[in-house]
Amino acid sequence: MKVLVIGGGAREHALVRAFGADAAVDRIVCAPGNAGIAAEAATRVVPVDVADPAALLALAVREGAELTVVGPELPLARGVADAFADAGRLLFGPSRSAAALESSKAFAKTFMARHGIPTARFEVCTDEGQALEAVAGERFGFPVVVKADGLAAGKGVTVAPDRDAAERAVREAMVARRFGDAGATVVIEECLTGSEVSCFVIADGRRSVTLPAAQDHKRIFDGDAGPNTGGMGAFGPSPLFGPDVESRVMREIVTPALDGMRAEGREYRGVLYVGLMLTRDGPQVIEFNVRLGDPEAQVILPMVESGLVPVLLGAARGDLGDAEWRVTADPRVGVVMASGGYPGAYETGLPISGLAEASSVPGVHVAHAGTAMKDGVVVTSGGRVLTVVARGESFEQAVARAYDAVGRIRFPGSHVRTDIGRKALIAAAGRGRA
């Protein structure tokens, strides 16, 4: 079977590797891909504008792709699944109306309210006056969270410590239009406290199978300091996501979400990413995303032991059937190597060395994100450049292997957090087995 993967980050590299290991797949096309994806066996990369559903459909037709799998949210929000469905082509990912769970935070929050899904108290504000009033009063207290309604490349959320900061965030979104139309509406909400966990299910509209949960590291610096990023590293399975939490999340969140979306005529087929805060009052939804997380995918996809393709095909067709689903629970840690200056401005085109040496560390592979080939050399081409992923018999071993490999890779100005996975070590130590 020929599979088309849409996207060009480390998450898509992880998808391509998972398909490469699947006996059902003999050829892979990735659009636009990157230098690491291009080097995978039986894989070709093709340049394409991922924001253009018609171009993606034309590519799938031209390539004879029997299954298309979408990595990022943008093509889904633009209706790529609808374009494929109209043309009778199989694509794994939700329709445009179902993708509203990520593309409109106002929709997601009101949806959760309608279906009794636990989430932070909120108000949807469609004008500046209403938003300034919402952040002024006692209602949400401080810190208060200000969120642009639409897609804002991960930059639309401000956790404001005081009223000044909250008002600034409102004005940036609604008046200065820092996120364009995405900030015309904002959601003001209560700040939740607890531990964040990323939980993923693959849904066929009614039923779902569960991937191991992971923990991301969103801030740029050690100790969760500095600005938010796309994610600087991840580990999984999350020690915080035991069987009790999992069954509660399924009962209180995933099942009502799938049922509610179906009832509202927005049947959900694809990966549902539930961003959770584990609070004292139980798990609450911080956000829904309609795709795998990045860097979470790089650590959890290798845990899928059964073939990924039958499950994705079943979900795309609307019936998971009895496709086999088996995942392992061996600890994995992924450390992101970023360009100096990220998430702000950074230089690109810098040569990367030591990739082969890194991959020779036992249990390690390197997923490429912002990389390109220039004159036969792999160079940087984005903010997040690589995710160095290590498997271990314990988190301790996985962390040690990941950082051993990171130390072998060099490019000018590279930045890594040095504490990825530390929370897993602490959780394990707390249970008396480090």
CB closer to ligand AMP out of 192 and 304: 192
Report the partner that residue 349 touches, choosing among ligand GLY, ligand AMP, none (CB closer than 5 to 8 A by kind): none
CB closer to ligand GLY out of 300 and 361: 300
Report the partner that residue 231 touches, choosing among ligand AMP, ligand GLY, none (CB closer than 5 to 8 A by kind): ligand GLY
CB closer to ligand GLY out of 94 and 293: 293
Alpha-carbon span 250 to 242, nearest angstrom: 12
How far apart are CB 14 and ligand AMP at their closest, in Å?
Answer: 19
Which of 325-361 are b and which e, b meaning 16 or more Cβ less than 10 Å from the residue's Cβ?
Answer: bebeebbbbbbbbbbeebbeebeeebebeebeebeeb
Q: Characterise 232 by phi-psi region: left (phi > 0), alpha (psi -120 to 50), beta (else).
A: alpha
Alpha-carbon span 170 to 358, nearest angstrom: 44
CB closer to ligand GLY out of 29 and 211: 211
Q: Which of 382, 398, 404, 390 is nearest to 36 (CA)?
A: 382
Tell me the CA end-to-end span of the chain in Å, nearest whole number: 43
How far apart are CB 292 and ligand GLY at their closest, in Å?
Answer: 7
The token duo for 380 is 């940087």
The identity of residue 352, as a single letter, is I
How far apart are CB 398 and ligand AMP at their closest, in Å?
Answer: 23
How far apart are CB 291 and ligand GLY at their closest, in Å?
Answer: 7
Report the partner that residue 192 touches, choosing among ligand GLY, ligand AMP, none (CB closer than 5 to 8 A by kind): ligand AMP
Query: How many of the chain's residues bind ligand GLY (CB under 6 A)?
Result: 6
Q: By rule CB under 6 A, what string of x and - marks binding of each residue 253-292 to ligand GLY? A: ------------------------------------x---
Alpha-carbon span 198 to 119, nearest angstrom: 15
The token duo for 282 is 């139980």
CB closer to ligand AMP out of 33 and 94: 94
DSSP-derived secondary structure letter, 327: B
Which of 129-157 are b and which e, b meaning 16 or more Cβ less than 10 Å from the residue's Cβ?
Answer: eebbebbeeeebeebbbbbbbbbbeeebb
DSSP-derived secondary structure letter, 72: S
How far apart are CB 253 and ligand GLY at their closest, in Å?
Answer: 17
CB closer to ligand GLY out of 269 and 384: 384
The identity of residue 309, as a single letter, is V
The identity of residue 73, as a single letter, is E
The yes or no reply on residue 298 touching ligand GLY (CB under 6 A) is no
Q: Which element (helix H / strand E) includes 372?
A: strand 371-374
Report the partner that residue 24 touches, choosing among ligand AMP, ligand GLY, none (CB closer than 5 to 8 A by kind): none
How far apart are CB 293 and ligand AMP at their closest, in Å?
Answer: 9
Report the partner that residue 293 touches, choosing among ligand GLY, ligand AMP, none (CB closer than 5 to 8 A by kind): ligand GLY
Report the partner that residue 145 touches, choosing among ligand GLY, ligand AMP, none (CB closer than 5 to 8 A by kind): ligand AMP
Alpha-carbon span 106 to 30, nearest angstrom: 33
Q: By rule CB under 6 A, what string of x and - marks binding of each residue 230-249 to ligand GLY? A: -x------------------
How far apart are CB 238 and ligand AMP at their closest, in Å?
Answer: 14
CB closer to ligand AMP out of 208 and 215: 215
DSSP-derived secondary structure letter, 250: I
Question: Which segments within 14-171 are labelled E, that is strand?
Answer: 27-32, 43-45, 67-70, 91-92, 122-125, 144-148, 157-160
Q: Which of 101, 56, 47 is nearest to 77 (CA)?
A: 101
How far apart are CB 127 and ligand GLY at their closest, in Å?
Answer: 28
Q: Which element (helix H / strand E) includes 199?
A: strand 195-204
Report the partner that residue 287 touches, choosing among ligand GLY, ligand AMP, none (CB closer than 5 to 8 A by kind): ligand AMP
Alpha-carbon span 262 to 335, nearest angstrom: 37
Residues that bind ligand AMP (CB under 6 A): 120, 145, 154, 157, 159, 189, 191-192, 196, 218, 228, 275, 286-287
Question: Which residue from 82, 123, 172, 296 is in contact with ligand GLY, where contact means CB under 6 A?
Answer: 296
CB closer to ligand AMP out of 240 and 406: 240
Q: By rule CB under 6 A, what string of x and - marks binding of each residue 201-230 to ligand GLY? A: ---------------x--------------
Contact residues toward ligand GLY (CB under 6 A) are 216, 231, 289, 293-294, 296
